[in-house]
Chain A
C-alpha cells in the first residue's frame, strides 16, 4: 500500500497573524477511508482544499502536501489541473451552492469531459447519464436537461458525487457532504459513498464535525483542533479510548440517544398548559398552489412537562412552534394555552403582551436572534421594564442578575452581540426570553447551529433553568439524541403530520410508525457496531 495523500508539517496562515494550520501531518493510503473531525474553525476545510492546490488568496504556507507524489504546494498550474481532473475529486458541503444554478445538470457533468477529455457531446452525455444512474438517480436522461433548482438537496448531492466520480479518481475528498441534508437523506448518501469507496478501492478523506458519522464511514480518524492534530488512530480506539482531553470532551459532548433520562410529569387532574387539537396551517402561494405546512395536529402538554417535536425539514415542526408563539395564525383548529383559547386572527398588541408571560421562544440562529445594535444587558433590561414594570436602574440590576444565572458575567453587560460567541448569544437569547417569566419555553432548533461541545453546555443550562424556573419545555429539533436527553414526551412529524406521539423512551425503543423507524435507523452507526451508539 502506497501513500496516496501525504501531508507533512503543513502550516498555513496569513502574514502577521497566528497560523490557521500548524504543522498538520496526515496521510491516506490507497483504498483507505480516513476521517478528519473537528469543530468549526479547526481548519478541516483548509487542510482538505490544500490537497487540490486550493489556497485562500494571500495566504502563506510551508511543508508538504503531496498527492500520488505531486506536491501541490509547488506544482505548476498545468499539473494541478491534471490532478484535479483525473486523480483527485472533491465533494462539497452544500450542493445547492456548489452547482452553478444557471446551468443545467448535464452542462455541469459534461463540461470537463467536453473541454479536456475530447469526448463528443453524445459520448459525454452517455457517460454522464450512466454515472447518474450508478449513483442511484432515476430518469437520468431527463435530469440532464434540468436546472439545479428543480432537484431536491439529496438528488443534487448525488449529482455532485456523480461529477466527482466521472473520471474515476484515486482520491475522494468529502467536505461535510451530508451536513446540509436531512438525516434520512444523509443515510442514503453515506451508504452510496461507502459503497463507491469500497468497490472502486478509492482513498477517501472525509471531513465532518459529527463523530458518529466519522465512525460510520472510516477506519482511521484524525482529530483537529485550532489547526493542529491532537490525536489520530483507528476510529474505534480513538472514540472508545481517547487519550487526549479534547477528544474525550468531544466524545462526551456528542449527543447520543439516552433512554429513560427524563421522568415524566405525574398525571394530574389540572388541565394541561398547552392543548392543541385539529390544528392546521395552509399557505396560499401566488401561483395558486396550496401548501399544507401543518395538518391536523393534536397533542397536550401538562404544566412542567417537556415535549420534543422531531422532524426533518418541511415536516411542519417549525410551523407548529411559530403557531404556539402566535407568530403564525392557524387556518383551522384549536390551540389553548394556559386556559386562553387562541383567536384565529393576528393578535392585538395588548393580547400579545399578555401572551408573552405565558410563552417565549428561542430561535435557531444565534447570529440573527439578537438585535445587532443593542448591548446585551440593555436587551434583557428592556424586557424587565416592559413586563415587570421596573425602572431603568432596577431593570438593569435584574438583567445583570439573570444574565449571571445563564453564565454571562457582568463584564459582558455592555457588549454588542457581535462580540459574543455563538454559545454566549444563545445564553443571552435564553435570558431575554426568561425575563418575561414565561411558563412555556419553545426552543426552535435552539442548539442546532452550535458546535457539539457548546451545544452540550447550552443543553445543560436549559435543564438547570427548567428546574429553577419550573418551566414547561417544547423542544423542536431534527435531532433525536437531543430530545432523548431533554424531553419525556415525543412527537414525530413528517410532511406536516404527526405520525407518532408518546413517551420518548417508548418511541425510541419500539417505534410504531414506519417513518419513525426509518428516522431512528438513519442515524449513523459505527463500523464496528451494528447497533446505534447508546450509552
Chain B
C-alpha cells in the first residue's frame, strides 16, 4: 500500500512470469556457479600479475636486486639472468613464471639451493596443522561466546563484550609472549619451542601457538556472531515463530542462528588470509618451521623467489576459500543465487 515502486530493483511481474520462473530456477544456480568460477580465475590471474610485476617497482638492475646481500660476481649475475630470463622482455618473463607455476616449477631458492616447491612442500604441513588447530579454537570458542552473549542480554552480554574487546586488541605476537610467560615459563604446562613429534605431542606443542594465533580472530568471530544474531532477533519472522508457540530453543536454532550464519561465514572467509599471514609471526616466536617462518627468513635473507611464491600461495588460498564461501552462501540463503537479494 505504501507503494515504493521505483523500478530500480523491480519485482518480477506476477502471473505470466510463472512459467519463466520455473525455467530460471533450473538455470540460475548454474549461472551463479559459473560466474563465481570465472571470477576466481580472473582474480587469480590479476593477482599473479600484481605479485610478479611487483619486482619491477624496484629501480635499477633486476639481477643486482635479486642478488642483494650476496657477492655480485659476474658468473652469479649471469646465472641469475639466465635463471629468471632477465634478458627477455617482461611479458615473456611473466609467461615463463606463470607457466612454471602451473607445471609445479616455482623457481629456485638462492638460500637453500633447492627448488622453491620442495622447500615449500616440506614446510606446508606444520603451517596447515597450526592453522587448522587455530581454526578449531576460533570456530568453537568464537561461536560459543557469540551465541552466549547474544542470548544473555544484560550482565552476561556486557561481560563477554568487554572480554572480547580486550581479547580482540591483543596482537598475536603479544598473545604469544603472554602465553609463553604464563604457561611455559610460569607454569611449565606447555613447551615454548618446536613442533613436537606428531600425534598428541604435535597437538601439545601447537596448542599455545594456535591459541596465540587465534585469539584476535576468536574475538572477531564472536563479535560477528553476536551482532548477526542480535540483528536476527529483532526480525519480525522471529517474533512470528515465537507467536506460533515454538520453544525458545527451536526459535534460536531454526530461525535466529540459522539465518545468522551468512555473515558469520563471510567474515570467517576473510579471516583466512590474516590467519595465514599472522602464522608467520607465531611460527617465528615458537620456532615452528612452517611457511610463515620461511617467509620471514626469506625476507631476511633476501631470497625473493621464495617470498614471491609464498605471497602467491597465501593470496591464492584467500581467493579459493572465499570462492568456496560464495558457493556455500546460496545454500544458507536461497535469495542470493536468485539474485533478488544480497541478504
Q: Name A residues whose Cβ lies closer than 8 Å to a Cβ of B.
A: 49, 52, 54, 57, 80-86, 89-90, 92-94, 97-103, 111-112, 115-116, 147, 149-150, 152, 160, 163, 178-183, 186, 281, 283, 285-287, 289, 291, 293, 312-319, 322, 364, 445, 448-449, 478, 495
- Does B334 interact with chain A (Cβ within 8 Å)? yes
| B332: chain A residues within 8 A (beta carbon) | 102
Instruction: Give bound CA distance, A114 to B241, whole Å.
Output: 14
In chain B, positions 19-36 with a C-beta closer than 8 Å to chain A are 21, 24, 28, 31
| A319: chain B residues within 8 A (beta carbon) | 5-7
| Size bin of chain B's contact surface | 35 or more
B32 CB to nearest chain A CB (Å): 11
Instruction: Give bound CA distance, A178 to B5, whole Å.
Output: 17
The answer to whether A178 and B1 touch across the interface, beta carbons within 8 angstroms, is yes
The answer to whether B240 and A112 touch across the interface, beta carbons within 8 angstroms, is no
- Does B293 interact with chain A (Cβ within 8 Å)? no
The answer to whether A115 and B250 touch across the interface, beta carbons within 8 angstroms, is yes
- Does B244 interact with chain A (Cβ within 8 Å)? yes
The answer to whether A100 and B1 touch across the interface, beta carbons within 8 angstroms, is no
The answer to whether A318 and B5 touch across the interface, beta carbons within 8 angstroms, is yes
* 10 cross-chain CB contacts under 8 A: A85-B245, A92-B239, A101-B237, A115-B246, A160-B240, A180-B1, A287-B28, A314-B10, A316-B5, A449-B2
- Chain B 332-343, CB-CB to A under 8 Å as 1, else 0, gives 111100111100
The answer to whether B1 and A84 touch across the interface, beta carbons within 8 angstroms, is no
Known A54-B243, A94-B236: A314·B13 in contact at CB below 8 Å: yes
Instruction: Give bound CA distance, A186 to B2, whole Å.
Output: 13
Determine which of B4, B13, B244 lies in contact with A84 in the assembled complex, contact meaning CB atoms within 8 Å.
Answer: B244
The answer to whether B246 and A318 touch across the interface, beta carbons within 8 angstroms, is no
| A116: chain B residues within 8 A (beta carbon) | 245
Instruction: Give bound CA distance, A530 to B79, whole Å.
Output: 99
The answer to whether B5 and A287 touch across the interface, beta carbons within 8 angstroms, is no
A-B pairs with lowest CB-CB distance, top 4: A85-B245, A84-B245, A293-B7, A313-B3
The answer to whether B7 and A445 touch across the interface, beta carbons within 8 angstroms, is no
Known A57-B153, A102-B259: A97·B7 in contact at CB below 8 Å: no
Instruction: Give bound CA distance, A83 to B246, whole Å.
Output: 11
17 further interface pairs, Cβ-Cβ under 8 Å (given A115-B246, A316-B5, A319-B5) = A81-B246, A89-B244, A99-B240, A101-B259, A101-B333, A102-B259, A112-B245, A180-B2, A182-B3, A186-B1, A287-B31, A287-B339, A314-B5, A314-B7, A317-B3, A445-B3, A448-B2
The answer to whether B1 and A291 touch across the interface, beta carbons within 8 angstroms, is no
Known A100-B255, A149-B340, A149-B341: A291·B10 in contact at CB below 8 Å: yes
Determine which of B2, B10, B242, B339 lies in contact with A445 in the assembled complex, contact meaning CB atoms within 8 Å.
Answer: B2
Most chain A CB atoms below 10 A, which of B242, B245, B332: B245
The answer to whether B3 and A478 touch across the interface, beta carbons within 8 angstroms, is yes
The answer to whether B338 and A100 touch across the interface, beta carbons within 8 angstroms, is no
B167 CB to nearest chain A CB (Å): 27
Determine which of B13, B21, B242, B339 lies in contact with A150 in the assembled complex, contact meaning CB atoms within 8 Å.
Answer: B21
| B55: chain A residues within 8 A (beta carbon) | none
Instruction: Give bound CA distance, A364 to B4, whole Å.
Output: 8
The answer to whether A111 and B254 touch across the interface, beta carbons within 8 angstroms, is yes
- Does B247 interact with chain A (Cβ within 8 Å)? yes
Known A52-B243, A92-B240, A112-B246: A318·B255 in contact at CB below 8 Å: no
The answer to whether B237 and A149 touch across the interface, beta carbons within 8 angstroms, is no
Determine which of A80, A92, A112, A312 lies in contact with B3 in the assembled complex, contact meaning CB atoms within 8 Å.
Answer: A312
| A100: chain B residues within 8 A (beta carbon) | 237, 241, 254-255, 259
| B340: chain A residues within 8 A (beta carbon) | 149
- Does B11 interact with chain A (Cβ within 8 Å)? yes
The answer to whether A313 and B5 touch across the interface, beta carbons within 8 angstroms, is yes
Instruction: Give bound CA distance, A178 to B334, whole Å.
Output: 26
| A101: chain B residues within 8 A (beta carbon) | 237, 259, 333, 335, 341
| A186: chain B residues within 8 A (beta carbon) | 1
A204 CB to nearest chain B CB (Å): 16
The answer to whether A97 and B236 touch across the interface, beta carbons within 8 angstroms, is yes
| B1: chain A residues within 8 A (beta carbon) | 178-183, 186, 448, 478
| A90: chain B residues within 8 A (beta carbon) | 240, 243
Determine which of B24, B235, B242, B334 lies in contact with A147 in the assembled complex, contact meaning CB atoms within 8 Å.
Answer: B334
The answer to whether A283 and B10 touch across the interface, beta carbons within 8 angstroms, is yes
B241 CB to nearest chain A CB (Å): 7
- Does B71 interact with chain A (Cβ within 8 Å)? no
Known A147-B335, A149-B340: A322·B239 in contact at CB below 8 Å: no
Instruction: Give bound CA distance, A451 to B4, whole Å.
Output: 17
Chain B residue at smallest Cβ distance from A287: B339
Determine which of B7, B244, B333 lies in contact with A112 in the assembled complex, contact meaning CB atoms within 8 Å.
Answer: B244
Chain A residue at smallest Cβ distance from B248: A77
- Does B258 interact with chain A (Cβ within 8 Å)? yes
Instruction: Give bound CA distance, A314 to B9, whole Å.
Output: 11
Instruction: Give bound CA distance, A415 to B136, whole Å.
Output: 53
A96 CB to nearest chain B CB (Å): 9
| B31: chain A residues within 8 A (beta carbon) | 287
Known A92-B240, A102-B333, A291-B10: A317·B5 in contact at CB below 8 Å: yes
Instruction: Give bound CA distance, A94 to B4, whole Å.
Output: 14
The answer to whether A149 and B335 touch across the interface, beta carbons within 8 angstroms, is yes
| B255: chain A residues within 8 A (beta carbon) | 100
Determine which of A102, A163, A181 lies in contact with B258 in the assembled complex, contact meaning CB atoms within 8 Å.
Answer: A102
Instruction: Give bound CA distance, A152 to B340, whole Å.
Output: 13
A178 CB to nearest chain B CB (Å): 7
- Does B14 interact with chain A (Cβ within 8 Å)? yes
| B259: chain A residues within 8 A (beta carbon) | 100-102
